[in-house]
Structure 1
Amino acid sequence: MKKLKILICDDDQDNLDVLQILLEMEGYIVVKEDQSSKLISTINSEQPDLLLLDIWMPEICGDEIIKIIRSDSSINGLPIIAFSASLDIEKISKKAGANQYISKPYDINEITRLIINVLGNKL
């Protein structure tokens, strides 16, 4: 069975490192990107199976990135789970076009459940 690749975009290096360790322990290949301005290029080069995206990013906000992804026919099918400490994460992520969302602080079991739910038939 192919290992699935998850791309994580967050400007907080500690958060990237923790998520990488936890998701690799779950058997996923993890790619990290800490600059939202480079994310589309990273998506095109890495071709991930799923994107975990922080909504509050410098340079380009996560909801704007989701809109860019959804308007690009070559990558618009990429499953996206948005995350944020914002109280409006549900509204923001749904409006932008994310498949799912999770609030910070989050639980690894909840992230794993969302990943399984979003990836479904790829597992």
Structure 2
Amino acid sequence: MANRILIFDDDIDILSICSYILSEQGWEVFTSENCNDIVKRVRDIAPNVILMDNWIPDTGGIVATRALKNEADLKQIPVVYFSANNDIHTLAQQAGADTFLPKPFDIQELESKINSVLVHD
């Protein structure tokens, strides 16, 4: 069964690029342009990894990530915080994300960061 990744970003181009790259690598990719009903959405999809943008509507990446990390059944899902913000390290820490990826990034950086947090059964 393919690993599942859920990408939260309001930039359609980022979603398209990441979806293409990751699906070529064998991932089952799910995307969202907002983080409304995030807990339900994550439970329904059951991703292995989440990519979370900082500027995602409506609540933002920090609040959305904290909501996931506060759920006992979801907190183990790795969250890769990604943003063009130059203070991304601090934002990722505030959110409780597992790691971060600065935008812009190259394909190798994306793959490496995701593989670094992927839990292998």
The TM-score by the shorter chain falls in which range? over 0.9
Unaligned runs of 5+ in 1: none
| Matched residue, 1:73 | 72
Give the secondary-structure state (helix, strand or coil) at the position aligned to 2:75.
coil
Assess if the C-alpha contact under 8 Å between 2:33 and 2:57 holds in 1: no
- Give how far 1:13 is off: 1.2
Q: CA deviation at 1:61?
A: 0.7
Partner amino acid for 1:14? D
Aligned match of 1:111:
110
Percent identity of equivalent pairs = 28
TM-fit CA distance, 1:5: 0.3
Give distance in 2, aligned partners of 1:98 and 1:86: 15
- Name 2:40's counterpart in structure 1: 41
Which TM-score applies when normalising by structure 2?
A: 0.94
The superposition leaves residues 60-112 of structure 1 with CA deviations (integer Å, 9 ceiling, x where unpaired) of 11011111111111211111001001011011102221111011111111010
Alpha-carbon deviation of 1:120?
A: 4.4
Paired residue total: 121
Secondary structure of the residue aligned to 2:30 is: strand
Gaps of 5+ in 2: none
* Aligned match of 2:56: 57
Q: 1:74 to 1:60 in 2, by over 3 A?
A: same
SS of corresponding position for 2:118: helix
| Matched residue type, 1:93 | A
TM-score (normalised: structure 1):
0.93
Aligned partners of 1:87 and 1:23: how far apart in 2?
A: 25
C-alpha RMSD of the superposition: 1.1
| 1:91 corresponds to | 90
Which residue identity does 1:53 align to in structure 2? Answer: M
Decide whether aligned partners of structure 1 residues 24 and 116 sit closer, same or farther in structure 2, where only a CA change above 3 A counts: same
The answer to whether the 8 A contact 2:4-2:49 is kept is yes
- The alpha-carbon deviation at position 19 of structure 1 amounts to 0.6
Could you tell me whether the CA contact under 8 Å between 1:85 and 1:103 is conserved in 2?
yes
Considering fraction of residues, name the structure with more helix.
Answer: 1
